[in-house]
């Protein structure tokens, strides 16, 4: 097939990602992408980012300010361009996730929906916590108290938080889960006692702040940042949510 008479430009690609092209021009852009797989891969990454941001705000309120809507659209495009710069991708993603949290705080406040279902990884966290508690009590099982977030991320693609000063790591284990290798960390901290942090790959992209639920009459604080999910157990409700917020903030 011959190339279209009107060359495909960066503006056309941006408009394609934003669903701003008529059908004829979309067909021309798709034909162009079919012949340029590298460009197609970049456009698909941009569209995934667009969809992730839309998923974070599925039902924006009718009272949202025009300035906020425009800022969100600029944010979406900034991330799309930043994804092209592979060396800056990790920093761009962290910045956008933090900005999403800022928009959510500005427009919706900090209240959470009590009707939201508990994610499946919370059950996985409780299972890992029980197994880890048994392991710590066994003299025959050597503990691995070396905590290396960079090494864990390289092996599992899971970002681990920075632990506050005074927290002592007791054991770190890579454990299986439906989404792939996960991480179970046991620690002791003043004011919390013994706690357990579970980190796993999430099934879908989301940004949710720490909230506390109860499973099997046990409090669990859980949150998600991008495609990483976390659950904190081992302390009372009020203590858990405060510690979870500290850990979550260290990831931005």
- pTM confidence score: 0.57
- Alpha carbon 144 to its chain centroid, in Å, reads 26
Please compute, for residue 104, the number of CA atoms within 13 A of its CA located in the half-sphere on the CB side.
Answer: 20
Residues in the chain: 252
Q: Distance between CA atoms of 123 and 181, rounded to whole angstroms? A: 15
d(CA 233, CA 212): 10
CA atoms of 248 and 211, how far apart (whole Å): 11
**Token digits for 9?**
């430009």
> How do the domains of the chain map onto residue ranges?
36-108, 120-249
Residue labelled with tokens 């852009």: 29
Which residues have CB under 8 Å from 84's CB, separation 6+?
42
pLDDT-wise least confident of 17-31, 76-90, 156-170: 76-90
On average, the pLDDT of the chain sits at 77
Spatial contact of 158 and 201, defined as CB atoms under 8 Å apart = yes
Chain segment 95-124, per-residue pLDDT in tens: 555 555 544 444 433 334 444 578 888 988
124: Cβ contacts below 8 Å, ≥ 6 apart:
177, 178, 182, 198, 200, 231
Which tens digit of pLDDT belongs to each residue from 119-174? Answer: 888 988 888 888 898 888 898 988 899 999 999 999 999 999 999 998 999 999 99
pLDDT at 23 over 60: yes
Please name which of 233, 143, 136, 135 lies closest in space to residue 192, comparing C-alpha atoms.
Answer: 233
With cut-offs at 50, 70 and 90, classify the pLDDT of residue 220: very high
Residue-level pLDDT at 109:
36
- Fold classification of 120-249 (topology level): Phosphorylase Kinase; domain 1 (3.30.200)
- Long-range contacts of range 164-167, CB-CB < 8 Å, 24 or more positions apart? 164/189, 164/246, 166/190
**Whose CA is closest to 119, among 184, 237, 208?**
208
| DSSP-assigned states of every residue in 194-240 | EEEEEEEEEEEEEEEEEEEEEETTEEEEEEEEEEEEEEEESS-HHHH
């Amino acid at each position: 097939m011959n190339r279209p008479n009107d060359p495909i430009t960066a503006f056309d690609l941006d408009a394609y990602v934003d669903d701003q092209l008529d059908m004829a021009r979309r067909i021309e852009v798709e034909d162009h992408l079919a012949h340029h797989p590298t460009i197609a891969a970049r456009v698909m990454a941009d569209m995934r980012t667009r969809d992730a941001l839309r998923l974070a705000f599925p039902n924006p309120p009718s009272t949202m300010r025009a300035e906020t809507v425009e800022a969100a659209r600029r944010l979406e495009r900034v991330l799309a361009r930043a994804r092209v710069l592979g060396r800056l991708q990790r920093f761009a993603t962290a910045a956008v996730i933090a900005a999403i949290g800022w928009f959510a705080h500005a427009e919706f406040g900090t209240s959470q929906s009590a009707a939201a279902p508990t994610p499946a990884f919370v059950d996985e966290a409780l299972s890992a916590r029980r197994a880890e508690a048994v392991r710590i009590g066994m003299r025959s099982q050597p503990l691995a108290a070396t905590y290396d977030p960079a090494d864990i991320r390289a092996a599992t693609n899971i970002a681990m938080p920075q632990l506050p000063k005074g927290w002592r790591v007791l054991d770190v284990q890579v454990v299986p889960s439906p989404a792939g290798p996960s991480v179970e960390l046991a620690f002791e901290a003043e004011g919390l006692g013994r706690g357990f942090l579970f980190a796993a790959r999430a099934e879908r992209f989301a940004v949710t702040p720490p909230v506390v639920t109860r499973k099997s009459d046990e409090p669990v604080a859980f949150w998600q940042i991008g495609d990483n999910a976390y659950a904190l157990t081992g302390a009372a409700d009020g203590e858990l949510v405060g510690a979870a917020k500290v850990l979550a903030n260290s990831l931005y």
